Amino acid sequence: MAGLIFVDNVSMTFGGPEGRFTVKALDRVSLDIRQGELLSLIGPSGCGKSTLLSIMGGLARASEGEVRMGAEVITKPLHKKVAMVFQQYTLLPWRTILENVEIGLEFQGMDKNQRREIAFEKLDMVGLSQFSHFYPRQLSGGMRQRVAIARALSVNPEILLMDEPFGALDEQTRTVLGEELMRILERTRKTIVFVTHSIVEAVYLSDRIAVMTARPGRIKMILDIELPHPREGKMMTSDVFNHYRNLIFGALHEESLKVAAESLGTTQELSSEG
């Protein structure tokens, strides 16, 4: 498959006032996202997964390196090409579900009848057309996240960037929404970059998984998940699924030990200074 997003030698450093305190979040990350795939980013806490996603979405500028979509360098949000879905649903409580899905189209200046038709179609795609006149407070967490996905799809982006979109949900709801996401992907052929902390979720959903190191985040391993589509829950008990899960667990465990050792060292240093 052709490449769609190219992450080229990206580093990111965050600094305090006058440079007195700096944190290097990412270190020379290079990665190609293939058109039509779902690629998951997984790594220990603080490794820069969300930072990398923000750079891909044009919400942050890398300290070094660049991200390109085709030949275009991403320096700002590309609203007509890239949409983001976050763990928090960011729905407007005073607008109905249908009106929330319309927002992106409204910003683009589309007339009311046309944007309403598209919004209703996307709600139907995520199984919520019958709730179109409900308000966010009347829906469960899983249903609100479906609305957020419908809103992202409404502007017909080429790429969806998803930052732990199911992280606040229970395991069963996560699995159901993951299956729905795969169905939507097969139907729309969107390209998805998916940040998660869950190994099982990553293996179940992904075509490829990029495992990141402890901070500063680098790409430690990229794993092709050669499981057939469509995927079903019973795959999670198969030998091949467990093989992938064990590979990723081993790679992540090594990085998590580094995080724990660094944290312990910092605590001891602060204790001695006190």
DSSP the chain: --EEEEEEEEEEEEE-GGGSSEEEEEEEEEEEEETT-EEEEE-STTSSHHHHHHHHTTSS--SEEEEEETTEE--S--TTTEEEEESS----TTS-HHHHHHHHHHHTT--HHHHHHHHHHHHHHTT-GGGTT--GGGS-HHHHHHHHHHHHHHT--SEEEEESTTTTS-HHHHHHHHHHHHHHHHHH--EEEEE-S-HHHHHHH-SEEEEEPSSSB-EEEEEE----SS--GGGGGSHHHHHHHHHHHHHHHHHHHHHHHHHHHHHHHHHHH-
CA gap 132, 128 in Å, rounded: 7
At 264 the pLDDT is 66
Q: Which amino acid is located at 241 in the chain?
A: F
Whole-angstrom distance, CA of residue 24 vs CA of residue 36: 31
List the one residue out of 186, 230, 182 whose CA is nearest residue 202.
182
Q: Give the CB-side neighbour count of residue 160, counting CA atoms within 13 A.
A: 31
Which residue from 155, 165, 101, 156 is spatially nearest to 133, judged by alpha carbons? 101
What is residue 186's predicted lDDT score, i.e. its pLDDT? 83
Q: CA–CA separation, 200 vs 255, rounded Å?
A: 18
Measure CA 193 to chain center. 5
Single-letter code of the amino acid located at 178: G
The rounded average pLDDT for each run of 10 residues, N- to C-terminus, in the chain (274 residues) is: 83 77 91 93 93 95 94 89 85 93 88 92 91 94 90 91 85 83 84 93 95 95 92 89 95 88 58 50
Query: For residue 36, which phi and psi values (nearest 5 degrees)?
Result: 85, 5
Answer whether 39's CB lies under 8 Å from 194's CB.
Answer: yes
pLDDT of residue 263: 66
Q: And the tokens for 110?
A: 């589309």
* pLDDT at residue 86, as a whole number: 86
Q: Which of 7, 41, 45, 9 is nearest to 27 (CA)?
A: 9
Identify the pLDDT of residue 270. Answer: 42
| Omega before residue 77 within 30° of 0, cis | no
